Amino acid sequence: MSANDTPTRILRDQHRNILKVADVLEEILANEHQPGVFDFDAIADCASFIRLYADALHHGKEEALLFPELVERGMPRDTGPIAVMLHEHQRGRAYAKTMVDALPGAREGNVDATRALVSAARGYIDLIRAHIMKEDNILFNMADQLIDEPACRALCAAYDGVCARHFEGHTVAELEAILTRLLERYPAA
Ligand SMILES: [Fe+2]
Ligand SMILES: [Fe+2]
């Protein structure tokens, strides 16, 4: 751990990846081949990344490790910033589920399914950008003040344990490869 390391550094780095996928998703939605016909394979990749990397891995680390450490150090869990972040994680999960559920119908050209897919994707993009801005600029700054170096080291080691897991059979490197593939296809995002 370097002198500049903080308990939130790994999570802040993951935020950059999640924001890139939000940018790609936004570009896909702006790039209809014909009215209502999108790059559904890329949307499916975005949905997989959102479910497995942004939620299972990243939000999983926040909910299982960082937030409990903050509660341990006196922050309330059921009110204030942590409660808001937990609620937003739930909203993100609901948007991702709607996207996954609507994808097959949207691929077949169903208008209602396409509308539901686009609406959920746009909702997710707005939500996750605002969510990450709040964590990066408010909650994580508070965390960096509250968590001392020994606890920071312990948290980082625990994060490594989570990163060693598989997510629906995928390693973290495989999930990051989804992002690489999306950025190759949408380099301007
Ligand atoms: Fe979060
Ligand atoms: Fe986060």
Residue-by-residue DSSP string for 3-49: TT--TTHHHHHHHHHHHHHHHHHHHHHH--SBTTB--HHHHHHHHHH
Mean pLDDT throughout 4-33?
A: 93
Q: Calculate ∠ Cα 94-62-122, nearest 5°.
A: 30
Give distance in angstroms: CA of 59 to centre of ligand 2.
6
Which CATH superfamily groups domain 9-185?
A: nmb1532 protein domain like (1.20.120.520)
Give distance in angstroms: CA of 67 to centre of ligand 2.
11
More confident residue, 44 or 2: 44
Per-residue pLDDT tens digits for 113-163: 999 999 999 999 999 999 999 999 999 999 999 999 999 999 999 999 999
The average confidence (pLDDT) of the chain is: 95
Q: What is the pTM of this model?
A: 0.95
Which residue in this structure is represented by tokens 């936004």? 26
Give distance in angstroms: CA of 77 to centre of ligand 1.
14
Q: Please give the radius of gyration of the chain, using alpha carbons only, rounded to the nearest integer.
A: 17
Cβ count near 17 (within 10 Å): 18
Give distance in angstroms: CA of 112 to centre of ligand 1.
30
Report helix, strand or coil for 170: strand
Burial level of 49, CB count in 10 A (0-12/13-18/19+)?
buried
Confidence of residue 4 (pLDDT cuts 50, 70, 90): low
Contact residues for 23 (Cβ-Cβ < 8 A; gap 6+): 189
Diameter over CA atoms, the chain: 56
In whole angstroms, what is the distance from residue 45 CA to residue 187 CA? 15
Per-residue pLDDT tens digits for 48-66: 999 999 999 999 999 999 9
Beta bridge partners of 34: 37
Give distance in angstroms: CA of 112 to centre of ligand 2.
31
